[in-house]
Amino acid sequence: MSAPGAVLARPPVPELSDGGSGLVSQLVLAVVCAGYATGAALGWGSHGVALFMGDFGLSAAALMASASCFLYARGGGGEGESRLRPAWLLFSFSSAMAASGNGVWGWYEVVLHYPTVPSPSLADLFFLLFAPPAIVGLLVLAKRPVTRAGWVCLALDSWLIGGSLLTLSWSLALEHTAHTEGASVAGAALSLAYPLLDIVLVSMVLALHFRRSSANRSAINTAIASLALTVLCDALFTSPLLRDTYRSGQLLDAGWFAGSLLLAYAPWGARRLASTGRAAPPPQRRPVAPATTRPIAGSLGALTPYLAAAVCTLGILYNVIEGRRVDRVVVFTGCTVVLALVVRQGIMLLDNIALTHELAQKENHFRSLVQGSSDVIMIAAPTGILRYVSPAAAGVYGRDAEDLVGSELASIIHPEDLGRVVHEVRRFLATPPLEEPTTRIECRFKSGTGEWLNVESTINRHQGGLILNSRDVTERVRLQAQLQHNAEHDPLTDLPNRALFTERTRQALTGRRAGDPGTAVLFIDLDGFKQVNDTIGHQAGDELLIQAARRLQESVRAGDTAARLGGDEFAALILGDGGRDRAARQRQVYEIADRLRLTLSQPYQIDGNEVRVAASIGVAFAERDITARELMRNADLAMYRAKSGGKNRVEMYAPQMQAEVVRKSEVAARLRTALHDGEFALLHQPVVNLATGRVAAVAAQARWRSAQGILFTPAEFLRVADDSERTAELGRWLLEEAVAQAAERCRAGHEAPVAVRLPARRLLDKSMPLGSVEALLARHGLPSGALVIELADSDPRISFDDLERRLVSLRRLGVRIALDGFGSGYAAINALRRLPIDVLKLDRGLVEGVVESARLHKITSGLLRIACDLGMQSVADGVDVPEQVLALRAMGCTHGQGMAFSGPLDEFRLRRALVRGTFPVPGGAALPVLSGRKVPSVRVNHSNSETPVPPT
């Protein structure tokens, strides 16, 4: 098969039968008719049986046809057949008249034993009543004309057929019958009535056969055949050859019998076909010439008037050849037939002129539409050759329509699209037209410049070939591709975005690489990028991201994927190599990630400035049955671990990271209800004068004992308390509870001030408005100087001016201010310079190494001199061993807090310590004893110092 032929080729549609039940019924009908004909041909074995079968047998068959048509008319017709029900009722009445006539005939012959049936008789009346309802029924079955000219042509066609048959019949037999001497008027009329009615019936059968309705065509054809067979038998019965020799039970009766059974079978045979649930197959469209596709029935219908005129002419010629005098009836009938033919031709001529004019207008109209359309309309023959191409091809394809006509359709379709187009066209042609009248195909067509254009074509069937209505959609396809690209790529760096990266990761885990443990995902975060935005601007930050994306893209292989997930976060998908050595693959990917870290950490040249950032990278490997989102989550956890571990490093994912996240999430969830459930308790750690051992103050600390019995220190539960609202609520509770308990102790005679650690941003937070601390002190009656607020941090985002005003207003109430964590950051010096500070609290990082490290010893000594020169008290946090007490006291530190004196105490033990008032200060004496237990000389981190909170 050639290429163009393959485009339009299609598999043959299997022919559908009417089912086994329809074939059985047809076989039974044929066997019964053949049996009756055989019996009639053999004389039925006896004269009596012949008479009985020739009379009552025909009556029974006609009665069966009458009942069948009546039952079908009452309830057998389906949708669309209600208009035809009167026809079946008329056929039922006609068959009933035939059954009655045969019954009366049998009464005379079989019951009364008349040698000949009287003429005229009641049987003649019934037989004469057979034709009129059948004629009217045929009129009902006919397709009704839609115009007045159509009705006139129908009447003229009927008369042309009837008049011609009457002329021929009159010339051959009826004239002799009409002029028979001695015949009565009734007998002559009866003799002429039978053939005249048959002529009318034959005329209707012939005229309406080509105008029958399309509804239930099989049943109508069967009914017309049965009536035609009956009329033929009537014509043979009235002919001079059989008129005198006919007897009941002869072979002629088999024709009437078969006609009645056909009429009985007609509606139900077609209904059985419909009830099988099968639709008739669509007509096969074969590649035939257009001139031969006109239906044969339409051609015969057009020739019917001329055939009728020829029959009339033959009747007249017969009389002339026989030398007979042309009868006036023949002359009159012939003249009317000729006149009817002339009138009909005139009507048809006018109708053809009007139709030709209308067709010309429509042709011009559609030619204008086709030629003026911006779409290209092409007609392809069944062989795949283009027979017509509209002029729009020059503007759309850049090729003249004349150049395309005669070429193969397959020659202008892109080779990569040809197979898909062939498959779709075959499927379309194999589908019934009523189910899918059109289809749409998008492929690439070759233009006159050799460029491939995206073309969308609507395809219709046309005489075995195709009609293609095509339009150029190249710009639309490009726009769609651009929109798709924009939806899947980052607009700044043009790298794949999170959605496309997730999809490619999913494909890597589920495609042919599924189960490859070497596939890895890298999550990358640029450390220090925020400072770039804050210092040299967001435009410079965008340029840095573009350069970083270029470096990342150049560092991965062609089959791998580099993506920007958002902000300064990037990712890379490293596909596995199919190897089974997991340890070697992990080392290889780690080396790739480390080289990538070094590449991204190289200086960037932006607007003449050298900008440096670092990269924290998390790596996660694929596992069995892992999803894309889970793999990306693991890489994200590893990246955050790299940032919390010091940044500018590569971290491999480990399962305990997820377990830690789950644990933090559970703790954070329980923390949300801990305050309301009363799970928080307030402890106090004494602050001791290093010179005298006297308790100078107590530091309030919160402890959380969950419902599960787990005790959390502040460093533990604040690490997961990322909910700002929850931490603010916890800070308010801590301050109010500490003030309330301090007021109760003052009323009990224990006037040690209470120190409450609060973040500086909380003092300016709207959740703690101005006047709230003042109102709290007034409500509980805490004396002036009994509250110390320790500033826990120095957030650069807060305003020092607002903080200074807030602290000044608190100092007017006697609230003392301590700078917590002094010596741990640059901001402490600025705070010391601007804020009204009363106490400097040394960071525990300095205290821990003050004995062992000479460098820390000098730094701590210098800070304490600053405090002394400014007239401030100093408190060392984390004093856990006696050696630290001696060293700090020698440097001039005034107070200490830690396990060298006491750990955090509940209210009962705190009051006991306050009653005693002092703690032993190391100075060559034994270690201090509290509650009968010796404090071990070890470093234990039980202070309330907050550790940095890693991301979760």
Q: What is the pLDDT of residues 7-48, one digit of tens each?
A: 454 444 444 444 556 678 888 888 888 888 888 888 887 888
Distance CA(787)–CA(735), nearest Å, equals: 10
Q: Alpha carbon of 195 to those of 165, 230, 232, 251, 259: distances in Å? A: 10, 12, 11, 20, 18
Phi, psi angles (nearest 5°) of residue 933: -120, 140
Taking each helix axis from N to C end, the angle separating 185-209 and 148-169, rounded to the nearest 10 degrees, works out to 130
How many other C-beta atoms can be found within 10 angstroms of the C-beta atom of residue 648?
18
Q: CA–CA separation, 356 vs 149, rounded Å?
A: 16
> How far is 496 from 522, CA to CA, in rounded Å?
14
10 Å Cβ neighbour count for 477? 16
User: For 719-725, which contacts have Cβ atoms below 8 Å and span 24 or more sequence positions?
Assistant: 719/664, 719/947, 719/949, 719/950, 720/664, 720/665, 720/667, 720/668, 720/671, 720/952, 721/668, 721/671, 722/668, 722/949, 722/952, 723/668, 723/672, 725/767
> H or E segment at 876?
strand 873-877
1: pLDDT strictly greater than 50:
no
Over residues 703-723, the mean pLDDT reads: 63
The average pLDDT across 527-531 equals 88
User: What is the pLDDT, as a whole number, of residue 439?
Assistant: 93
Residue 164 confidence (pLDDT) = 60
Q: Which two tokens stand for residue 302?
A: 């057009």
Q: Does 492 have pLDDT greater than 90?
A: yes
For 38-64, how does the pLDDT look when each residue is reduced to its tens digit (9 = 90+)?
888 888 878 888 888 888 888 999 899
**661 burial via Cβ count (<10 Å: 0-12, 13-18, 19+):** middle
* pLDDT for 893 beyond 80: yes
Confidence at residue 702, expressed as pLDDT on a 0 to 100 scale: 87
Give residue-wise pLDDT tens across range 542-583: 999 999 999 999 999 888 999 999 999 999 999 987 777 788
Residue from 689, 745, 715 nearest 895 by CA: 689
Binned at pLDDT 50, 70 and 90, residue 520 comes out as very high
Task: Categorize the per-residue pLDDT at 947 as very low, low, confident or very high, splitting at 50, 70 and 90.
Answer: very low
* C-beta separation of 256 from 304 below 8 A: no
**Portion of the chain with pLDDT greater than 70, in percent:** 72
Q: Using one digit for the tens of pLDDT, what is the confidence trace for 741-767?
A: 999 999 998 889 999 988 887 777 765
Edge to edge, what strands does the sheet with 614-621 contain?
Answer: 561-566, 569-574, 520-527, 614-621, 650-652
pTM of the model: 0.50
DSSP single-letter state for residue 143: P
What value does the mean pLDDT take over residues 229-240?
71
| Secondary structure of 801-829 as H, E, C letters | HHHHHHHHHHHCCCCEEEEEEECCCCHHH
DSSP, collapsed to helix, strand or coil, labels residue 928 as coil
101-105, 118-122, 137-141, 320-324: least confidently modelled range: 320-324
Residue 174 clears pLDDT 90, i.e. is over it: no
Residue 951: asked if its preceding bond is cis (omega within 30°), the reply is: no
Q: Which residue has the higher pLDDT, 606 or 930?
A: 606
Segment (H or E) for 365: helix 328-372
pLDDT value at residue 708: 62
Give the pLDDT of residue 950.
36
pLDDT reported for residue 216: 60
Q: Which residue has the tokens 């304490």?
A: 864
Q: What is the widest separation between alpha-carbon atoms in the chain?
A: 175
In this model, does residue 277 exceed pLDDT 90?
no
Rg (CA), the chain: 56
Nearest 5°: phi and psi at 793?
A: -150, 175
Cα(483)–Cα(606) distance, rounded to whole angstroms?
A: 31
Residue 149 sits at the vertex; the CA angle it makes with 147 and 150, to the nearest 5 degrees, is 65
Rounded to 10 deg, the angle between the 58-71 and 252-275 helix axes is 20
Q: What is the overall mean pLDDT for the chain?
A: 78
**Measured distance CA(622)–CA(116) in Å, rounded:** 108
